[in-house]
Amino acid sequence: MCGIIGAVAERDVVPILIEGLKRLEYRGYDSAGLAVIDQQSLKSKKVSGKVAKLEQEIKDTLLSAPTGIAHTRWATHGKANYENAHPQISKELIALVHNGIVENYSKLRLQLEQWGYEFNSKTDTEVIVHLIHYHFNQSNDLLTAVRTSLQSIEGTYAIAVINPEVPGHLIAARHGSPLVIGIGIGEHFIASDIAALIPVTQKFIFLEDGDIVDLQRNSFKITNSGNPVKRAIHISQLQANAVERGQYRHYMYKEIFEQPQAIKNTIENRIHNSSILETIFGPSTHKLLKNINSVQIIACGTSYHAGLTGRYWIEKFAKIPCTVEIASEFRYRNPLPNSQTLVVTLSQSGETADTLAALNEAKQLGFGPSLAICNVPESAIVRMSDMVLMTHAGPEIGVASTKAFTTQLLSLLMLAVVLGKHNNMDHKIEHRIVDAINILPAQIENVLKLNSIIEQLAGDFADKQHALFLGRGIHYPIAMEGALKLKEISYIHAEAYPAGELKHGPLALVDSKMPVIAVAPNNILQEKLKSNLQEVQARGGQLYIFANHRAIMQELDYVKVIELGEVDDIISPIIYSIPLQLLAYYVALIKGTDVDKPRNLAKSVTVE
Ligand code: M6R
């Protein structure tokens, strides 16, 4: 999704803006641009395409300035072209970058056209910049002009605005889209994501909805509804090199191989004497979980698949009903509230607009306490929740989620135990789960050794248009996640089915050209699954079976078994997701797609 960075300093900010844009690239974008105030005149550069192209064009012009704003755009209104890229500029005076969506832009555009403004883009953003220009003409004060303009905007926004008539000022505001101030020494920054600012500061202030800030080199003033407000300063632990790719070819590959360490980090300080500590969710956990009689999980995409998996653990170990829903559906369904239902949001980024809105909706409706399982400590979802469990996976840059997913799974397993203890769970079961958790990093190391086998296997998929993924029970969501990974980065159409459902329709798709990938660990459903696989085999489908042992099925030209070895039943969903991540990665590599930034997708989906 779109990214914003801005700076007011004494030094030249152009290299800071470009570096910040590069650090925002992982979010997904299709055009980029910047505007600066150089000796009281506004200069801007935009490109359709990558930040590297913008950087090259800027080098050619020797642009340098102490105040500026920059943006990566992920197209919503209007194509990904030069005209629609940000900054949007009004009458060579006001330059603005914007994340979010202006819902009433058609009405505002008509009004502005009547006032004589000409539109050069198809963006919703352009109405904001002209409105600010209009109000600046009335008030001759940039802050007032921004505040007045925003009163007419319906929708979501994070904006940053500059005007060469007030050099050394940058006005920024947020409503529904994240925005953070970076505090430097004699300089200040603004960004949509702290990752953009880590090379220049570790001190941050997270703006809240309705906040407007007037940023200058040596000071800043935050107001909300016209009144001055104070916001806490946070010191981030994120290191600049934590978001670097190092010697790895892709972030996704690096992140797949970081999973043993990510899992260790998620476990650290959370288990004591073979017991999972309740306080890992925060100091008030005991009180908040005391009367819980059901769980509602809300998430999107990969996080939703983690939720679907977690449901099996919660119902099995905590013995309380759990429902899982896609956030964009939950928020409009008018669900029936229950004050004893724990609302669990799962989100890698903690900024997903639909998940945030669904959490808000659950709170408004009167659901019970909320718990966020999240990977970004300073994110909006974390700040909105009563309890929090950080996944500690470390920054995930590849758009296709990997280590965030497996650490979410582990977090849900720990949640199931904590809820179980409130429901008289036998200590022996807890100890058994803790033993399984403790061997997880080593088991992941083992399964990563399949790397070269899976690399070879990927060749079979390069010319395929479709693929079917099958699983049963708790491994059905793992099959769903495998299908999502393959479709996201290799652009092969992939669907997942519970294997028992095959004969109720999807079997019609099976022929010798259809690869069928089965997640088939050794558990009580394995025999049932084998019968389903026989149905595929009988119709000439190509089977790829991920199983504990080769013996699951006779290997033939069109039946390949990938042996994972002995895997503890409790943690097998976590282990079995890993070869599916590798499979998607290698297929994408052969197909030559942009693995870390697949087309049309964004890392953090901050619009509805
Ligand atoms: O940051 P979140 O976990 O809330 O993001 C949810 C989805 O957008 C995300 O999982 C998406 O499906 C990923 N691209 C999956 O690889």
Per-residue model confidence as pLDDT tens digits over 555-578: 666 789 999 998 999 999 999 999
pLDDT at 528 (0 to 100): 83
pTM of the prediction? 0.77
401 pLDDT more than 70? yes
Q: Is 225 left (phi over 0), alpha (psi -120 to 50) or beta?
A: left
Residue 2 is a catalytic residue: yes
Cα within 13 Å of Cα(282), Cβ side? 18
Around ligand 1, the residues with Cβ closer than 6 Å are 300-303, 347-349, 352, 355, 399-401, 488, 601, 604-605
| Cα distance between residue 163 and residue 145, in whole Å | 11
Identify the domain boundary among 438, 456, 472: 438
Same domain, yes or no, for 252 and 221? Answer: no
Nearest Cα to 187, choosing from 177, 178, 199, 195?
199
Ligand 1 center to 447 CA (angstroms): 24
Same domain, yes or no, for 310 and 193? Answer: no
Give 305-330 pLDDT, tens digit per residue: 999 999 999 999 999 999 999 999 99
142 pLDDT more than 80? yes
Identify the domain boundary among 438, 465, 497: 438
Decide: helix, strand or coil at residue 208. coil
User: Bridge partners of 31?
Assistant: 48, 73
Split into its structural domains, the chain has a count of 3
Decide: helix, strand or coil at residue 399. coil
Same domain, yes or no, for 253 and 356? Answer: yes
| Cα distance between residue 177 and residue 338, in whole Å | 29
Give 94-125 pLDDT, tens digit per residue: 999 999 889 899 999 999 999 999 999 999 99
| Cα distance between residue 71 and residue 576, in whole Å | 39
Same domain, yes or no, for 200 and 278? Answer: no
| Cα distance between residue 604 and residue 74, in whole Å | 11
| Cα distance between residue 574 and residue 150, in whole Å | 46
Same domain, yes or no, for 395 and 524? Answer: no
* Structure token pair of residue 603: 């890392």
Same domain, yes or no, for 249 and 235? Answer: no
Same domain, yes or no, for 295 and 400? Answer: yes
Nearest Cα to 391, choosing from 349, 445, 438?
349
Ligand 1 center to 603 CA (angstroms): 7
Residue 431 in contact with residue 294, Cβ under 8 Å?
Answer: no
Residue 390 in contact with residue 592, Cβ under 8 Å?
Answer: no
Give 6-55 pLDDT, tens digit per residue: 999 999 999 999 999 998 887 778 899 999 999 889 999 999 999 999 99
Mutate to test the pocket of ligand 1, among 352, 480, 607 (most ligand atoms within 8 A of CB): 352
Ligand 1 center to 476 CA (angstroms): 18
Residue 388 in contact with residue 215, Cβ under 8 Å?
Answer: no
| Cα distance between residue 102 and residue 125, in whole Å | 7
Helix axis angle for 259-267 and 440-448, nearest 10°, is 170
Mutate to test the pocket of ligand 1, among 349, 373, 600 (most ligand atoms within 8 A of CB): 349
Identify the domain boundary among 214, 242, 270: 242
Alpha carbon nearest to ligand 1 atom 4, residue: 347
Same domain, yes or no, for 313 and 412? Answer: yes
Same domain, yes or no, for 253 and 370? Answer: yes
Same domain, yes or no, for 584 and 536? Answer: yes
Same domain, yes or no, for 384 and 481? Answer: no
586 pLDDT more than 80? yes
Ligand 1 center to 83 CA (angstroms): 29
- The chain-wide mean pLDDT, for the chain, equals 92
Report the amino acid identity of residue 156: T
pLDDT at 478 (0 to 100): 98
Among 142-156, 162-176, 554-568, which is the least confidently predicted range?
Answer: 554-568
Which atom of ligand 1 is nearest to 485's Cα? 16
pLDDT at 507 (0 to 100): 86
pLDDT confidence tier of residue 240, bands split at 50, 70 and 90: low
Residue 314 in contact with residue 342, Cβ under 8 Å?
Answer: no
Alpha carbon nearest to ligand 1 atom 8, residue: 301
Residue 603 is a catalytic residue: yes
Same domain, yes or no, for 94 and 188? Answer: yes
| Domain CATH for 108 | 3.60.20.10
Domain housing 401: 245-438
Helices vs strands, H then E, count in the chain:
19, 27
| Domain CATH for 595 | 3.40.50.10490
For the chain, the farthest-separated pair of C-alpha atoms sits apart, in whole angstroms, at 80
Share of the chain above pLDDT 70, in %: 98
Give the Cβ contact number of residue 553 at 10 Å.
18
